[in-house]
A and B are shown apart, each in its own frame.
Chain A
Amino acid sequence: MTLRIVHLYPRELGIFGDVGNVIALQMRARWSGIVASVESVGVSDAVPENADIYMIGSGSTAGLRAVAETMPTLARSLTRAHSAGATVIAIGAGLHLLGSRVDIADGESVDGAGLIDATSTLRVERLVGPLSGSIGKQGVTGYVNSGHQLIGAFNPLVERIEGLSIESDGVSADGILGTHFHGPFLPMNPTFADDIIEKHTGVAVDQDDPRVSRATEAASQSRVALRRELGL
């Protein structure tokens, strides 16, 4: 069984360790006997359309500007891949770029890939800090550092948030998992990595493998520590 992961624009988008999402998927799949490959795609590269998972990370304004030109190309390839069943994981600026428009300071804005019905506008006050919330019945934790908010018709991914001034975060759509959670998101909340791996390979991640259980337990303890830090 194989799992093909594409990491989009790691040089420009990825200042918060978002590569951790790719690492978690790759290692948990490998530890479960799946042949997992990762392909890094740069701004001047063609985007492969036959991968299982696409990960696009967070970045600064400069990173956003640097990848903005490639959006029409990305939109074509990613829309095809997504329609064919691929999962798209988008963090921070990567999530904003999946919408139709991202506002930058001074009235400037860049066009997004348009995969989700949303625009990103500047927050009056930047959102920075640790937080805790839920996806369904599963508790999740992370750290947010964002100057943008996403506005549009979509279902949020994380709800019942405690620790910061927001009530919900991110986007949950068919095959799209978008959030501002770093930590990064999948290493800190590995059950979602396992769901994605199983969805694409039909293989359940081997929870009895000592390497898998070590990472799962460490993440669970990390969430406990973070909730304690938040006084929860």
Chain B
Amino acid sequence: MLVALAVLLGRFVRVVTRMRGGGSALPGWVVLKLVPDFVARVMTRIQSDHAVPIAEVTGSNGKSTTTSMAVAILEAHGKRVFSNPSGGNLPQGIASAMLTDVTLGGTLSVDAVVLELDEAYGVRLADAVRPSHALLLNIQVDQLNRFFEPERVVEMVRRIAEPAHTVIVNDADANTRSLGNQFAPTHDVVGFDVVDRVAPDGVYGANAGNDAAKDARTPLVSVTAVDGVTTTLAYAGTSLAVRLPSPGIHYAVDAAGAIALSARLLGDEFNSSVAASAISDMKPVYGRGETVEAFGAPLTIVMMKNHPSLQANLDALSETPESLYLAVDGGTPDPSWIYDIDLSRLDHVDVVSGSKAWQWETRLAYADIPTGVVEEDARTAFEAFGTNTSPKRQKHRTAIVNYEQMMDLRRELGYMEIEGE
């Protein structure tokens, strides 16, 4: 009864917040206020009704993209999948996502569940989620103001994966490789990897003392080549050509992980060419290499999340941006790591914005990269970007923005979908 009330109230809140253009977490928050174990209840029912696999995807970078890829693959195989769309990786986000299809009795009729889990919240959610499969992407230097040390994240990810029976690990990342080794005696461990000649030189991994760990696994999927958005993956003796939603080796690794997970979830039903097409048909996930229309020309949004992800995105740029907008605000409380970034792919920045604009300008000054305008107010700054770069200099127009600025920018440009919907 209470569940039915919570679902109805949550749906009502969702209609209201959508009308107001608000965030996606509030409906779920309301549901959890009424029924704190809502997620666990729905998951328990999913599992007890029939043997539905429940997969969780976690790690520092690539959760949203990889989850979307796995969902696309499963759906291309005709499966009904419940997932938490990009960004909704906190408990309230998952509860919000459930509101669409859950019955008033708390039943979700699906063939598989694929959830992206935040590293910290995931620890608390793992019991409620009751995962059968865990996909561990990487443990990189990320949000140290929140996580303090990579070592703590390694432990969080270990605890998230522990309840699953099958653990799929990125063997190209020293930390997830080491976790795979730890799980090997007790769990079914499946690896995916990057062949040495394609592998980046190690700048992406976090030093958590796991560098020396080797693995004895033959990878189920390997990245064998990457050229922009085109990648070649080796799976079960066959070579798969896959078009990635955005360029870069990090997206190729996400694809390898999604294919490894899907192959395990689908078993004999898995068809690798169906999987390759499913990924190739995907659009970029929300703000991650997505191209939007701004001032009459395409603008590619690159998210500045942390050192490894920004470096991977810069390394994947096919050309030096002809016009570049850079905006970072308090959502990145300590951008000290920008001094670790190799900025050699950039030759100028047109506009630097956000409350951290001057910290970026300091960094750019030391890299001797010219800046057009520094303006903390994002709205004024973005207008200046439009004026200064139109109609000329419209090739490879790029915006490097943190998550909060990405959301603001999309809203400003009339891209109204709310993340998590």
Measured between alpha carbons, how far is A44 from B36 in the docked complex, in Å? 53
**A62 contact set on B, CB distance < 8 A:** 149-151, 207-210
Given contacts A143-B336, A184-B339, contact A12 B362 (CB under 8 A): no
Contact mask for chain A residues 1-43; partner B; CB cutoff 8 A; 1 contact, 0 none:
0000000000110111111100110010000000000000000
The stretch of B224-232, B289-297, B363-371 that contacts the partner chain: B363-371
Measured between alpha carbons, how far is A65 from B376 in the docked complex, in Å? 41
Closest residue of chain B to A146, judged by CB?
B148
A147 touches B148 (CB 8 A): yes
User: Given A11, A59, A143, A225, which contacts B376 in the complex, CB threshold below 8 Å?
Assistant: A225
A23 touches B148 (CB 8 A): no
Measured between alpha carbons, how far is A124 from B363 in the docked complex, in Å? 34
Contact mask for chain A residues 199-232; partner B; CB cutoff 8 A; 1 contact, 0 none:
0000000000001001100110110110001000
Q: Is A182 an interface residue (CB 8 A)?
A: yes
Range of interface residues on chain A? 35 or more
Q: Is B145 an interface residue (CB 8 A)?
A: yes
Q: Is A66 an interface residue (CB 8 A)?
A: yes
Q: Is B144 an interface residue (CB 8 A)?
A: yes
Q: Is B334 an interface residue (CB 8 A)?
A: yes
Measured between alpha carbons, how far is A23 from B330 in the docked complex, in Å? 24
A145 touches B356 (CB 8 A): no
A61 touches B365 (CB 8 A): no
- How far does the Cβ of A200 sit from chain B's closest Cβ, in whole Å? 19
Measured between alpha carbons, how far is A20 from B334 in the docked complex, in Å? 14
Q: Is A126 an interface residue (CB 8 A)?
A: yes
Closest residue of chain B to A31, judged by CB?
B368
A187 touches B363 (CB 8 A): yes
User: Given B148, B150, B336, B376, which contacts A183 in the complex, CB threshold below 8 Å?
Assistant: B336
Measured between alpha carbons, how far is A191 from B348 in the docked complex, in Å? 26
Measured between alpha carbons, how far is A129 from B148 in the docked complex, in Å? 11
Q: Is A188 an interface residue (CB 8 A)?
A: yes
8 A Cβ contacts from B321-377 to A: 330, 333-334, 336-340, 355-359, 361-366, 368, 374, 376
Given contacts A17-B338, A128-B145, A147-B148, contact A23 B207 (CB under 8 A): no
| Best-buried of B141, B206, B355, B361 by chain A (most CB within 10 Å) | B361
- How far does the Cβ of A136 sit from chain B's closest Cβ, in whole Å? 22
Given contacts A11-B207, A16-B144, contact A229 B355 (CB under 8 A): yes
**A14 contact set on B, CB distance < 8 A:** 340
8 A Cβ contacts from A166-187 to B: 182-184, 187
Measured between alpha carbons, how far is A16 from B300 in the docked complex, in Å? 28
Q: Is A130 an interface residue (CB 8 A)?
A: yes
B366 touches A20 (CB 8 A): yes
**A19 contact set on B, CB distance < 8 A:** 339-340
B209 touches A17 (CB 8 A): no
A16 touches B334 (CB 8 A): yes
Measured between alpha carbons, how far is A159 from B359 in the docked complex, in Å? 23
B366 touches A65 (CB 8 A): no
Given contacts A17-B336, A17-B338, A19-B339, contact A60 B208 (CB under 8 A): yes
B361 touches A218 (CB 8 A): yes
- How far does the Cβ of B62 sit from chain A's closest Cβ, in whole Å? 20
Shortest 7 CB-CB distances between A and B: which pairs?
A20-B339, A62-B209, A17-B339, A17-B336, A215-B365, A221-B358, A60-B149
Could you list some 11 contacts between A and B, CB below 8 A? A14-B340, A15-B337, A17-B336, A27-B368, A62-B149, A143-B333, A183-B359, A184-B339, A214-B365, A215-B366, A224-B358
Extra 11 A-B pairs, beta carbons < 8 Å, given A60-B207, A222-B361, A229-B330: A11-B207, A15-B206, A17-B338, A18-B339, A23-B366, A60-B150, A130-B334, A182-B336, A188-B362, A218-B374, A225-B355
